[in-house]
A = this chain, B = another copy of it.
């Protein structure tokens, strides 16, 4: 049964460098974004998870939104780090409120409109 409260996963690549050179020490921008999101105000049905590498390194920091049998999965990129935590939280809040993962275009932030890396249709489940 379609239900907007179905669980959503917010996956954050913790290894993203966001264009940083490889010799920079300390937590990577992806880890900083992840850490900032642990303190962000996320809807109850959203679970935050760190992932090592979405193979989208040229366009990271990257996040993936998915959840439920009815929702499209979205990969978004070109975030810069901790300072984008609110932007990501806003995007996943809108996504988590949908049944199918399709947030109306006019409701998406400019960043989400312009930086969708890919989207994947919901997996059909046997009846």
User: Binding site of A, secondary structure by majority: helix, strand, loop or mixed?
Assistant: strand
Highest count of chain B CB atoms <10 Å: which of A54, A62, A118: A118
Q: A66-B123, A123-B66 are in contact. Are A118 and B11 (CB under 8 A)?
A: no
Count the A residues whose beta carbon is within 8 Å of the partner chain — how many? 20
A93 at the interface (CB under 8 A from B): no
A117 touches B118 (CB 8 A): yes
A62 touches B123 (CB 8 A): no
Number of this chain's copies in the complex:
2
What separation, in Å, do the CA atoms of A62 and B9 have in the docked complex?
24
Residues in B neighbouring A9, C-beta threshold 8 A: 123
A121 at the interface (CB under 8 A from B): yes
A residues apposed to B, CB below 8 Å: 9, 11, 51, 53-56, 62, 64, 66, 73-75, 116-121, 123
4 further A-B pairs in the complex, CB-CB below 8 A; given A55-B119, A66-B123: A11-B120, A56-B117, A75-B75, A117-B117
CB-defined A-B contacts under 8 Å, sample of 26: A9-B123, A11-B120, A11-B121, A51-B121, A53-B119, A54-B118, A54-B119, A54-B120, A55-B74, A55-B116, A55-B117, A55-B118, A55-B119, A56-B117, A62-B118, A64-B118, A66-B120, A73-B73, A73-B120, A75-B75, A75-B118, A75-B120, A117-B117, A117-B118, A118-B118, A120-B120
